[in-house]
Amino acid sequence: MTAVVRLLLADDEHLIRGALAALLALEDDLVIVAEAASGPEALAMARAHRPDVAVLDLQMPGADGVKVATSLRAELPDCQVLIVTSHGRPGHLKRALAAGVRGFVPKTVSAQRLAEIIRTVHAGNRYVDPELAADAIASGDSPLTAREAEVLELAADGAPVAEIAERAALSQGTVRNYLSSAATKLGAENRHAAVRLARERGWV
């Protein structure tokens, strides 16, 4: 018999969090010691309750799962982080692993499977969903340079070049050049399509 695993559950959707809590509580060796509905709350709860494993949703108000994981890694090195997500973008997986996350799974897994994965992660092993891993490998690394990505991000909400230039403290010509080269690298018709593609691949 393994030791009891103390869990922190963070997801902004009460319905899902509650349902998940109920299901995981059915497992004898899992106990939920805290729940949170936002990034900052998750962090506060983790500090207060020092769980063994933190199960975090990727998208939460305040701070996303990866940011929370980064802070957690620094403050509570003994707490393993497992990220659960609805929309698995390749780039997110890469960022998560870089942040020291031990597990990354889509919400399409069953509860039993999730319980097993929680135990795997608690034992100090890693677990990444095979499908997401395959996507990440297939899509490869971002071909964008740091500045290209930065400028593309500023262009994300459809702002005109003048505004982007001001916010990035660059000349308009330079901004256009970055946008142009980013669009070319991504094979997009224009910068807006480029933004969409980069989003899909988790490169922004």
List of residues contacting a copy of itself (CB under 8 A): 12-16, 18-20, 22-23, 84, 86, 106-111, 114, 157-160, 188-196
Which has the closest alpha carbon to 30: 122, 108, 104, 94? Answer: 122
Distance separating alpha carbons of residues 83 and 39, to the nearest angstrom = 13
Picked from DNA, a copy of itself, none, the partner binding residue 125 (CB below 5 to 8 A depending on kind) is none
Name which of DNA, a copy of itself, none residue 57 binds, using a CB cut-off of 5 to 8 Å depending on partner kind: none
Nearest to 92 by CA among 127, 55, 65: 65
Q: Which residues bind DNA (CB under 7 A)?
A: 145-148, 160-162, 170-174, 176-180, 183-184, 190-192
Residue 100 or 106 with smaller CB distance to a copy of itself? 106
Residue closer to a copy of itself, measured from CB, 12 or 100: 12
Determine the residue type at 13: E
Q: State the binding partner of 147 from a copy of itself, DNA, none, CB within 5 to 8 A by kind.
A: DNA
Rounded Cα gap, residues 26 and 21, in angstroms: 9
- Neighbour count for residue 101 (Cβ, 10 Å): 27
- Min dist CB 204 to DNA, Å, is 15
Q: In the complex, what is the shortest distance from the CB of residue 77 to a copy of itself, in angstroms, rounded to a whole number?
A: 28
Of the two residues 26 and 162, which places its CB atom closer to DNA in the complex? Answer: 162
Per-residue burial over 64-74, b = 16 or more CB atoms within 10 Å of its CB, e = otherwise: bbbbbbbbbee
Rounded to the nearest 5 degrees, what angle is found at the Cα of 132, between the Cα atoms of 131 and 133?
A: 90
176 binds, among a copy of itself, DNA, none (CB under 5 to 8 A by kind): DNA
